Amino acid sequence: MADLIVTAALVFCLLAASTHLVTVALALYRVSRPRNRMSERSVEPVSIVRPVCGVDHFDEMTLRSTFELDATDYEIIFCAARDDDAAVPLVRKLMAEYPHIEARLLIGDDRPTSNPKLNNIVKGWAAARHDWIVLADNNVLMPSRYLEDLFRSFGAGVGLVCSPPVGSHPVGFWAELECAFLNTYQARWQIAADTIGFGFAQGKSMLWRRDILDDAGGIEALGAEIAEDAAATKIVRANGLDVRLVDRPFEQPLGPRSIAQVWDRQVRWARLRRATFPIFYAPEILSGCSLPAMAAMIAAAGFDVDPLMALLFYIGVWFGAEALLARVAGWQMRLHSPLVWMLRDALLPVLWVEGWAGNTFVWRGNDMSVAKGEDEAAISSASARTVASRSAARTSCETRPMASASAERKRRPVKRSSLARAAGTAARMGRTQRALYPMPSFAAGIAYWLASSAMRMSQQSARPRPPPRQNPWIIAIVGFGQPIRALKAASFKAS
């Protein structure tokens, strides 16, 4: 029995590491390809539709980038649900600064679907005058070659071109954690899947040929799923076409983040993936380093190899490959990034469970649910509160800036967590698990060590924390080694 466990652990950790290295290699191939070797396609006349809702930290920079593209024959259509939205004055200001760029602002609160973002886009799709339409979120930073990169990927047999977001300009430790989720984890997997011909749509940037979506029922057809990118993937594949990603994903500047903001966003995306593509979501629990690292320590103990040395070698190879990808791609990476990546992977199993544990989430103040039976109730409740708190929005179309009073931005919610609370929670969890479950104490040890390290880095002026009374690594190693040694001793006595 002991030999079987050791063999299974060895096979699992080797397969996981091989898969990880293959995805890194595929992503490296895509992001490092010279542009002159890529298929060339001229930029067609295109309409860029950008929905706005509130003002994020870098919105002026991201929205301004729409006016500074290298292409010439394009129009910009901004969409807002209300005239008193905080983003409206910013949009009018930018339109005034670039009078030579054809730009419009559409305001209206139509609700043909249960998706608030999609509802905001519908009027822009209807007003677009070109056959090619880009749907781009307000927080996407467009490089000057933005349209060229999108059209370059729109080859034969392609029905949609997208780009996953790549986090940039983080402020604070938790924004670094969000970069870790977005860049060398999610973007890496999406690029690798696309390279082998299995691309999925990503709603941050989508280049559509109008007739493809109109034949499927129009822009409202994207409301068939709770996530418009999932609906887009299914529509394109139903037409026998492929979804492709750009070779170099576009940035999303982050700014400061709280742990609650990062976690809520990742839980929202996890539940959306679970609801729309459950078959592909189920194996995500195996995608991080935590479980393979545990398996590597079990295998090392079974072969009389120092488990700590095996762990250090394993995570060195794993995160060394991620560091190489981040460096070549030019993605966010600092000296302490490997610690952040370890924390991310330690959280992945918990995130996976959260994806199955619930159906509801909040998106920009809108209560939503991934359960089809609950969607209408959740949206109706949110709509009732919205209507009760404001007058009905009027629909208007603006082609030039207009004077308007500045809208005060709503105060941000109070931070619901902190590094100190995270470290304390991890310590309590570690003590409980060490007492009850020696094997799972490995995850608690990692969480406690990473949270403590994060606190020391982010609070430079604070006094250094005393070292823990017990080393979580040693506890983890002992917890892993005892069952293996016991099984081997039992087998020896039986023989």
pLDDT for 33 equals: 85
pLDDT for 440 equals: 36
The helix-helix angle for 307-329 and 2-31 (nearest 10°) equals: 10
**Bridge-based pairing state of the strands 360-363 and 366-369:** antiparallel
pLDDT for 131 equals: 95
Say yes or no: domain 42-282+357-388 is CATH 3.90.550.10.
Answer: yes
Q: Alpha-carbon distance 194 to 200, whole Å?
A: 7
H helix and E strand count, the chain: 18, 12
Look up residue 254 and give its two tokens: 């982050």
Query: pTM of this prediction?
Result: 0.74
Contact predicate 38/10, CB 8 Å: no
Contact predicate 47/75, CB 8 Å: yes
pLDDT for 276 equals: 87
Summarised one tens digit per residue, pLDDT across range 60-88 is: 999 999 999 998 899 999 999 999 999 99
Q: Where are the domains of the chain?
A: 42-282+357-388
Give the chain's residues under pLDDT 70. 1, 35-40, 363-367, 372-495
Contact predicate 438/479, CB 8 Å: yes
What residue has token string 């929670």? 425
Please name the residue ranges forming H helices in 216-336: 228-238, 259-276, 278-281, 290-302, 307-329
Q: Alpha-carbon distance 9 to 448, whole Å?
A: 25
What residue has token string 């924004």? 175
Contact predicate 29/116, CB 8 Å: no
| Total Cβ atoms within 10 A of residue 102 | 15
Taking phi first (over 0 means left), then psi (-120 to 50 degrees means alpha), and beta for anything else, what does residue 374 get? alpha
Which residues does residue 312 pair with via DSSP β-bridges, in sequence order? none
Summarised one tens digit per residue, pLDDT across range 251-288 is: 999 999 999 999 999 999 999 899 888 998 999 988 99
Which residues does residue 107 pair with via DSSP β-bridges, in sequence order? 80, 396
pLDDT for 359 equals: 81
